[in-house]
């Protein structure tokens, strides 16, 4: 006689149940290296009811996002869309699609995120070469020319806005150099897009990436990505498959292009948020937005000087979106950031890598780049420094 499988449900052990109240989070003024506070209109957009990622209304929204991204980046690249992931995913997408084992890749390292590009490129089998500057300095065209002539890379990777140091790398003329040496120009615009002048086509940039939560004043988890026709040609000439399935542009294009074939479940509500953030930028106008960031940054720099504090980067190369401030001798930098957070609900960042313990990082990005926020920070910083002696 055979026994029948039991369909009864085992008793639940109620001692494992956790009783929690509804979610409550503190309200902070986010003036660190990111995220920045999202615009209220963006927060409103992200709370709209989700629809399917193949819904005709969502497909129309995708087209709007692509058009708006081209405007903010000043590019006509057909392949311009957001990656479903944080800025590091978009960073990896640029390398994954154009780097094959044995390719020579030259990375300009002048901060923490240059070293991340080195690590990522090596994981895809590249022969990685570096040109190095002290953290807070920039590369000259002559230095880049010498490095290109020495290493003859297929890709030159540079960080336009180095989040760890607050330095802005000039890119004028670099694209022409890369064409002279027949290599692609890959650029990190994570802390510059939406707050600092960026002209991808004019500068001859072939691959670029950014994130949602900084100058765009959106949310983390959705990140702009673009490829020039030269980069697409390199992708099409690959002898091997793109190693990263999730970030393979030849597959993603079947969803973001005309086919609209399912690839993965897109973050629908984050796309709502990104569309609204980009719309706000277009409404303000790029030049007006860039000027606002520069004006508020200069106001901050003046206020810091009045407190006896100095900046790490030369004014000519200083980012208006991210300022590194030298921690005065004898001051406990972590105690200051902790007190600002606990007593004033203001977040600023500490240093990364070589600058750990040496600087604070203050972000004025997107929605947060306003005079009242600078005044609030300067007053809280003055009181904090005074109370800590």
Q: What is the pLDDT of residue 12?
A: 77
Q: What is the pLDDT of residue 1?
A: 53
Q: How many CB atoms lie within 10 A of CB 74?
A: 15
Q: Rounded CA gap, 313 and 319, in Å?
A: 9
Burial degree of 2 (CB within 10 A; 0-12, 13-18, 19+): exposed
Identify the sign of the CA torsion 258, 263, 265, 266.
negative
Helix 333-344, helix 371-387: angle, nearest 10:
120
Angle at Cα 62 formed by Cα 226 and Cα 155, nearest 5°? 10
- Residue 143 tokens read as 């230095």
Domains of the chain: 29-35+286-387 (3.90.1150.10), 40-282 (3.40.640.10)
Pick from 109, 181, 112, 103: which is nearest to 145 by CA?
181
Q: What is the pLDDT of residue 367?
A: 97
Q: How many CB atoms lie within 10 A of CB 298?
A: 13
Q: pLDDT tens for the chain, 389 residues: list them.
A: 555 555 788 887 777 778 889 999 999 999 999 999 999 999 999 999 999 999 999 999 999 999 999 999 999 999 999 999 999 999 999 999 999 999 999 999 999 999 999 999 999 999 999 999 999 999 999 999 999 999 999 999 999 999 999 999 999 999 999 999 999 999 999 999 999 999 999 999 999 999 999 999 999 999 999 999 999 999 999 999 999 999 999 999 999 998 999 999 999 999 999 999 999 999 999 999 999 999 999 999 999 999 999 999 999 999 999 999 999 999 999 999 999 999 999 999 999 999 999 999 999 999 999 999 999 999 999 999 999 87
Q: Rounded CA gap, 152 and 144, in Å?
A: 11
Q: Rounded CA gap, 370 and 280, in Å?
A: 15
Q: Are 108 and 144 in contact (CB under 8 A)?
A: yes
Residues, the chain = 389
Q: What is the pLDDT of residue 9?
A: 84
Assign residue 345 a region: left if phi > 0, alpha if psi is -120 to 50, beta otherwise?
A: left
Q: Are 350 and 323 in contact (CB under 8 A)?
A: no
Distances (CA, A) of 349 to 34, 65, 71, 115, 356: 9, 31, 30, 19, 10
Assign residue 65 a region: left if phi > 0, alpha if psi is -120 to 50, beta otherwise?
A: alpha
Q: Rounded CA gap, 311 and 334, in Å?
A: 18
Q: Rounded CA gap, 40 and 290, in Å?
A: 20
User: 0.85 exceeded by the pTM?
Assistant: yes
Q: What is the pLDDT of residue 6?
A: 59
């Amino acid at each position: 006689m055979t026994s029948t499988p039991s369909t009864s449900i085992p008793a639940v052990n109620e001692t494992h149940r956790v009783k929690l109240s509804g979610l409550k989070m503190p309200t902070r003024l986010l003036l660190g290296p990111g995220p920045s506070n999202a615009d209220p209109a963006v927060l409103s957009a992200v709370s709209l009811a989700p629809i399917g990622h193949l819904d005709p209304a969502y497909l129309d929204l995708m087209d709007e996002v692509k058009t708006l991204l081209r405007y903010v980046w000043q590019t006509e690249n057909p392949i311009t869309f957001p990656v479903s992931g944080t800025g590091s995913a978009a960073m990896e997408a640029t390398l994954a699609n154009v780097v094959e084992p044995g390719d020579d890749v030259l990375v300009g390292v002048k901060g923490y995120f240059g070293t991340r590009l080195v690590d990522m490129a090596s994981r895809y089998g590249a022969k990685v070469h570096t040109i190095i500057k002290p953290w807070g300095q920039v590369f000259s065209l002559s230095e880049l020319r010498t490095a290109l002539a020495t290493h003859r890379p297929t890709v030159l990777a540079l960080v336009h806005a180095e989040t760890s140091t607050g330095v802005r790398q000039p890119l004028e003329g670099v694209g022409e150099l890369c064409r002279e040496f027949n290599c692609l120009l890959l650029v990190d615009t994570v802390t510059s897009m939406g707050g600092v002048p960026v002209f991808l086509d004019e500068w001859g940039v072939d691959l670029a990436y950014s994130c949602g939560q900084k100058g765009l004043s959106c949310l983390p988890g959705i990140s702009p990505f673009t490829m020039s026709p030269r980069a697409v040609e390199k992708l099409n000439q690959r002898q091997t498959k793109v190693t990263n399935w999730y970030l393979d542009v030849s597959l993603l294009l079947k969803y973001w292009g005309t086919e609209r074939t399912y690839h993965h479940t897109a973050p629908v509500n984050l796309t709502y948020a990104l569309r609204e953030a980009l719309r706000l930028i277009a409404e303000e106008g790029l030049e007006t937005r860039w000027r606002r960031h520069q004006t508020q940054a200069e106001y901050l720099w003046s206020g810091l000087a009045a407190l006896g504090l100095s900046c790490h980067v030369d004014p000519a190369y200083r980012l208006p979106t991210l300022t590194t401030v030298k921690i005065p001798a004898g001051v406990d930098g972590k105690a200051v950031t902790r007190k600002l957070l606990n007593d004033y609900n203001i977040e600023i960042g500490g240093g990364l890598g070589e600058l750990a313990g040496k600087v604070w990082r203050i972000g004025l990005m997107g929605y947060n780049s306003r005079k009242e926020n600078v005044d609030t920070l300067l007053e809280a910083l003055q009181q904090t420094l005074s109370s800590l002696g």
